[in-house]
Structure 1
Amino acid sequence: MSEMCPIKVTEDSLKLDFHVYVGSETGPFKGVHFQGLNETPIYKNILALEQLIPSCYITAMNWSDVEENNIMLARINGDICIYESRKLKHFNRCLPTDTKHGRIVGVSEYEGARLTAFDSGVVKNWVDEEKDQLLLDAGKNLKVMVHSQTDRNVIATGGHENQLRLWDLNEKKCTFEAKNIRPDELQLRVGVDVSGITFLSNNRNLATCSKYGFAHIYNPGSQRRPVISTKVPDNAFSCITTAPNENHVVVGSGVGNILLIDLRKTNKIVSKYKGCSGCVSAIACHKTEPYIVSLSLDRYLRVHNLNTTALVHKVHMISPLNFLLVRSDFSFEKSPSAATEDIVAVESDSEDIFKDLEKVEDKPRKKRKLTNA
């Protein structure tokens, strides 16, 4: 494995300290710099345009360490690329993996190696391109793999007809498997399609969301079925995250709804956040401040106030985006001390392509004289 990765970054991305990072299944990887609540956020492409090729499409993105220094990007060609986001601001490592197991749907770091989960259910730990360790098989149609931040030996997995499971990476075994909820009022089986998983702040409970419009709260120590279950009709939930209040979670749906749900009561929706058009593809809450960051199919990044539901920021990101990481050590409400006057607020992915195009103007239409018949 080489020390330096041949992935080029843009010069503009070296000038700013980014607070939010976004990635796309079509390749772009961008950083967003917030200047305060009353100033327009600045975003920049991190990857150079020549890197946006089909083999470099992003399939998963995550912090590689709890200090949030490095970001791991999984690509459709099986590469795991490490972006140093603090000082150097470049890709310092790129580790090839084996694509025979399918598409990578989750990445993390475990014992200094690259932990990867494939949609086939295979979970491996890669030390280098010639040495890997098969940890477990989490089942077919895997969609989500989440690594516990407090116990690094624990991961949670789930997917289409693949129930929530907890795994002990050290013992390489399943320690908890959820049981499906009871049949509906017509005594029909309720389908399983886990689209999002999050560990709650106490780290004993977990919350999941599904494509069938359910948000479940599990307590693995007490029972296999959800202890709290919320159903929202006509909503297919696509993502979930914890809120600063340990009793709340935030979910995004396929029809553009962002909902704040109270975990203490069944079917208790506290707030609804408006503005999104199309599926909410990713969502995250600031760890200490009351703000929600979201991405949606309409290519906008939005910031809502968690308490008032007000839309604070709305930035058109040009590209369709699927992945979102928010730093925990910055404030939305305080302007940074660094001056950024020389940075243009909006940058198009294809700006360089259109610069040299000749301007085409419509020719004036000739007026015709009307003649009497």
Structure 2
Amino acid sequence: MKWTTANLKHANYTAKHELYVGTHTGSFKHLVPASEKSPHGQSNLSDLVGLDKDSRVTSLAFGNEAQTEILLGRAKNTVELHSFAEGKSSRKSVSFTAAPIVGLARYNDKLIAGIGNGQIQSLELEADEEAEPVVITTGNQIDHLRQCAQVRNIVATGGKERQNNLKVYDLSNDGKQIFSSKNLPNDYLQLEVPVWDSDIGFVDGPSVLATCSRTGYVRLYDTRKQRRPVACFASEEHGMSFTTLVARGNFIYTGTTMGALKAFDTRRMKTHVHTYKGFTGGISDLHLDATGRYLSSASLDRYVRIHDAESTVLLYQCYVKSKATKILIRQLENEPQDSEQPEEDADLEVDNNVMENKSLKATPVDNEYEDLFDQMPTVGDSDNESEGEGETTTKQSKTKLKRKSLNQSLKIKKKKL
């Protein structure tokens, strides 16, 4: 599909999805690409009154495995909990002691927030408003906090400089640090390799993690083997600055500040294996659906997009009027069901299918061969033919002779050709 800035939906995109988008102005939008009437329609799920420069959406995550709760963090210390269970929506606000919020997680009855100053704060949802959160210090700065979807008591943080590199914590054990990454050896000038983990992703479990960097590298860690990365991609291109990452299976999907979306194979990290087109601005966030086939992206060019992760085809594109900073994609709950067919129509359809299958299985007739057979003269006619059985036998012999002579003539034609 050619590059375009118009709203579009691919004809082959039939999956039932809905999108939740956070923007730079602070609005929280809901889109339903599966809608037949208005696939690009948008609705605001938060109040637009009182939004300021600190209302920018900086974090968006699902609060439970059923994906019926969404956690929304902003550049200020306020977190919103949006619930969409059983077709009803509700909203609740929780305040922390510092800002900005760079990552959110939900574990049991606690809300976990990663703060830009290097803290992980934990707060009981049912606690009083005056209750102080429990603080875990990870360093002096973090860029992102990510929760493991398979083991929800595991969270990881990463930031700029060596003291804020990738770290993994166990929330069920009082926030104990269980892993800390180690930088690569010094370069050929014996200078330290710069570290900046701008985003983190768990690869189908708590033990394997992937990180990307503003300095142009993508690294893969296995906490069971070693502290240093087990695979690494380092870009030598100018301006290759990775901002966001999502991982699933053997593939890592990364977005850059220059509007490049690339996929890497963890089994061979020397170069990327896919490139997704259609962007005119930096990519701010990525998210995969439950199947891992559809890759949604938010971009600073004010568009949200959905690509096919395997074929790289652009399936959906929508203009959201503001710079999109965060995005989530999930399966639409109320899917339209096909109406039941009457029994007579169903029986007719089954009969038609049976007839079509029979016609497909039947041997095709060669019309040219039959015409040649009918036009050939009869060989070996006899005037002294008896009636009854003798006549039937003569007709059968004539037919055999016709077939034999026709086959011989066809063989001669083939030899001449």
Q: Give the TM bin, normalised by the shorter chain.
A: 0.7 to 0.9
User: Shift in Å at residue 248 of structure 1?
Assistant: 0.7
Quick one: distance in 2 between partners of 1:141 and 1:190?
A: 18
Letter paired with 1:167:
Y
Quick one: distance in 1 between partners of 2:122 and 2:27?
A: 26
Give me the CA root mean square deviation: 2.5
Tell me which residue corresponds to 1:14.
none
Quick one: distance in 2 between partners of 1:56 and 1:264?
A: 40
8 Å CA contact 2:101–2:114 kept in 1: the answer is: yes
Of 19-28 and 35-44, deviating more is 35-44
* Larger strand percent: 1
8 Å CA contact 1:122–1:134 kept in 2: the answer is: no
Quick one: distance in 2 between partners of 1:254 and 1:314?
A: 19
> CA offsets per residue over residues 88-122 of structure 1, 9 Å max, x none?
554432122223xx322111112302111111111
Quick one: distance in 1 between partners of 2:175 and 2:294?
A: 37
Residue 241 (str. 1) matches residue 236 (str. 2): no
8 Å CA contact 1:71–1:83 kept in 2: the answer is: yes
Quick one: distance in 1 between partners of 2:25 and 2:103?
A: 17
Residue 121 (str. 1) matches residue 118 (str. 2): yes
Residue 229 (str. 1) matches residue 237 (str. 2): no
Distance change >3 Å, CA 39–CA 249, structure 1 → 2 = farther
8 Å CA contact 2:179–2:223 kept in 1: the answer is: yes
User: Shift in Å at residue 75 of structure 1?
Assistant: 3.0
Tell me which residue corresponds to 1:96.
95
> CA offsets per residue over residues 121-157 of structure 1, 9 Å max, x none?
1111112322234241111121111112222221101
8 Å CA contact 2:150–2:204 kept in 1: the answer is: no
Question: Structure 1-normalised TM-score?
Answer: 0.78
Tell me which residue corresponds to 2:23.
24
8 Å CA contact 1:110–1:125 kept in 2: the answer is: no
| Residue in structure 1 matching 2:297, options 294, 300, 312 | 294
Quick one: distance in 2 between partners of 1:110 and 1:215?
A: 28
1:244-283 aligned within 5 A: 246-283=249-286
Tell me which residue corresponds to 2:210.
207
Quick one: distance in 2 between partners of 1:18 and 1:270?
A: 26
Quick one: distance in 2 between partners of 1:36 and 1:306?
A: 22
8 Å CA contact 1:83–1:89 kept in 2: the answer is: no
Distance change >3 Å, CA 82–CA 66, structure 1 → 2 = same
Of 212-221 and 187-196, deviating more is 187-196
Tell me which residue corresponds to 1:172.
175
Tell me which residue corresponds to 1:366.
none
Tell me which residue corresponds to 2:108.
111
Residue 160 (str. 1) matches residue 160 (str. 2): yes
Quick one: distance in 2 between partners of 1:36 and 1:215?
A: 37
Tell me which residue corresponds to 2:336.
337
Tell me which residue corresponds to 1:140.
140
> CA offsets per residue over residues 195-230 of structure 1, 9 Å max, x none?
110111143200110101111100011111100001
8 Å CA contact 1:27–1:56 kept in 2: the answer is: yes
Letter paired with 1:122:
Q
User: Shift in Å at residue 187 of structure 1?
Assistant: 3.7
> CA offsets per residue over residues 279-315 of structure 1, 9 Å max, x none?
1101112231522111111111111122221211111
Letter paired with 1:211:
R
Quick one: distance in 1 between partners of 2:42 and 2:198?
A: 28
Letter paired with 1:81:
E
Count of residues in correspondence between the two structures: 315
Report which of the two structures shows the higher radius of gyration computed on alpha carbons. Answer: 2
Question: Structure 2-normalised TM-score?
Answer: 0.70
8 Å CA contact 2:24–2:322 kept in 1: the answer is: no
Quick one: distance in 1 between partners of 2:108 and 2:289?
A: 27
Quick one: distance in 2 between partners of 1:59 and 1:39?
A: 28
Q: Identity percentage over the alignment? A: 28
SS in 1 for 2:132: strand
Letter paired with 1:297:
L
Quick one: distance in 2 between partners of 1:160 and 1:37?
A: 45
> Structure 2 regions of 5+ residues with no counterpart?
1-15, 339-417
Of 35-44 and 71-80, deviating more is 35-44
User: Shift in Å at residue 42 of structure 1?
Assistant: 2.9
